[in-house]
Structure 1
Amino acid sequence: MRTADDFLITMRGIDDDTVGRAASASSLTLGGILRHLTPAERVWTHIMVCGDGSTPDGMWDMEQHERPKDTTAAELIEAYRSATAATDAAVSEESDLARRVRLPEVPWAPDEVQHITVRGVLIRLLRETAHHSGHADIVRESIDGANTTAQLG
């Protein structure tokens, strides 16, 4: 089971109202987490496949973390599933996990050219997903008491 699959367990039974509800003083919502992880998945897959340091449009769009507006829970989940399926397809076509790819230029270090292996890209994506899965589990449990572990059965 992939980390993305574990993350989606947390989303079971989420409706349109709940996906946008904050569970604490933070504005973090399940929909906001989905809106962050979906482009993160696409960006890391793009980096892995293209390997030239290019970035997809909107990579630094910080609004992707905000509460979703005019988007249903089902649409957010489907967009995430589509992004993870594209990653899975790219990984299945990759013949060399040691292949080095160029990382995109980042706003905080524009003159640093860095490279990483495809394996390193996958590890970063795994870490990103696992990190936010913990956030999602806390938000979900705070909203309605459900959590990933209890839903695994």
Structure 2
Amino acid sequence: MTTSDPKADLHFYLQSARDALLWKLEGLSEYDIRRPSTPTGTNLLGLVKHAASVELGYLGDTFGRPSGEPLPWLEDGAEPNADMWVTADESREYIVELYRRAWTHADATLDALALDTIGKVPWWPSGRDEVTLHHAVVRVIADTHRHAGHADIIRELMDGAVGMNKGNDSMAPGDSAWWENHRSQLEHAAQEADRHIRADQTN
């Protein structure tokens, strides 16, 4: 393609990250979508909750377009990191639908305003809180793709499921035996490199 539609480009990459993040929940139990998978507690449904909060903030409140969604985990007095995990009382359906409503609200902002529109990020320091819509959308895209990458790794470690999306897993072709051989090859190369470095350091 040689023509350019900046808003369409931004929306495409934002939506691809949104879809990937939700896809990683499919087929998993309530426990598995919530359980902490890293020492800092990273979990799949919590990533969705966080992503919804980010969109409502940067692509809503920042441009004077509050969604009206109650987000108690962001209120004064909420415990640190409360937007990164899901309580037992917060259902999968509630969090997923909240995220979808956040998409709708954010997309309406992107449609309604010019990319050079200036907004103010409520939680940034006064005097350094102005941002263009273009910058805000890029920031949300980067954040969402980063967390979709977290979800990729968590899901693979959890049950071996991999891929970018339903229609394109973006993986090299190969069965389980091929991948085991590939992993062994990488392990061998890593060990060899480490031995070489150690040998050089002792000479």
Normalised TM-score (structure 1): 0.79
Deviation at 1:105, TM superposition (A): 4.2
The residue aligned with 2:18 is: 4
Deviation at 1:29, TM superposition (A): 0.8
SS at match of 1:98: coil
The residue aligned with 1:28 is: 42
SS at match of 1:143: helix
Structure 2 letter corresponding to 1:15: S
The residue aligned with 1:136 is: 151
Structure 1 gaps of 5+ residues are none
Residue 94 of structure 2 corresponds to residue 75 of structure 1: yes
Aligned pair count reads 145
Structure 2 gaps of 5+ residues are 1-11, 169-203
Between 1 and 2, higher relative CO (CA 8 Å, sep ≥ 6) is seen in 1
Equivalent residue runs for 1:52-91 within 5 Å: 58=74, 61=78, 62-91=81-110
SS at match of 1:101: strand
SS at match of 1:17: helix
Deviation at 1:148, TM superposition (A): 3.4
Structure of greater Rg: 2
The residue aligned with 1:146 is: 161
Over 3 Å counting, the alpha-carbon distance change for 1:150 and 1:131 in structure 2 is: closer
| Equivalent residues of 1:97, 1:118 under 8 A apart | yes
The residue aligned with 1:116 is: 131
SS at match of 2:164: helix
SS at match of 2:59: helix
Over 3 Å counting, the alpha-carbon distance change for 1:84 and 1:14 in structure 2 is: farther
Residue 46 of structure 2 corresponds to residue 46 of structure 1: no
Deviation at 1:98, TM superposition (A): 0.8
The residue aligned with 2:119 is: 101
Normalised TM-score (structure 2): 0.62
